[in-house]
């Protein structure tokens, strides 16, 4: 099991970036994914360059990535201190793999099954679909 997931965000107006009149859908999705990980007992720490620049300077791996690539490497995701993703937020499926989320905490809903209509025998009343 992992010890830590850390995300080093570019400078944003608030800690998650999910605020203001035009919210980036990727940020909203990622905020939901972080909440989902938290509900399953995995702590994710996020650091905002605009609000917590010291965290970026203190971590050698983050500092080196910024020196080498500039802010284009942000967001930067670390798992147990190692860079696992840079320049974009990982998806929930990627987080599951990267963070070694135990299978016991995963709960997948089955895909919806098309219902058949007794009248037409297909998925719509006429049976022609």
d(CA 38, CA 66): 28
Other residues' Cβ atoms within 10 Å of the Cβ of residue 56: 18
Start-to-end C-alpha separation, the chain: 47
pLDDT tens figures, 16-57: 566 666 677 888 899 888 888 888 778 889 999 989 999 999
Mean pLDDT highest for which of 10-24, 62-76, 89-103?
A: 62-76
d(CA 110, CA 5): 28
Q: What is the pTM of this model?
A: 0.73
DSSP structure class, residue 85: E
């Amino acid at each position: 099991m992992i010890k830590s997931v850390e995300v080093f965000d570019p400078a944003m107006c608030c800690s998650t970036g999910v605020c203001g009149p035009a919210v980036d859908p990727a940020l909203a999705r990622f905020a939901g994914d972080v909440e989902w990980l938290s509900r399953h007992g995995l702590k994710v720490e996020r650091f905002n360059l605009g609000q917590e620049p010291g965290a970026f300077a203190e971590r050698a791996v983050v500092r080196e990535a910024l020196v080498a690539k500039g802010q284009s490497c942000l967001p930067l995701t670390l798992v147990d201190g190692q860079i696992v993703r840079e320049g974009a937020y990982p998806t929930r499926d990627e987080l599951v793999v990267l963070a070694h989320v135990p299978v016991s905490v995963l709960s997948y809903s089955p895909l919806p099954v098309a219902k058949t209509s007794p009248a037409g025998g297909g998925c719509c009343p006429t049976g022609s679909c």
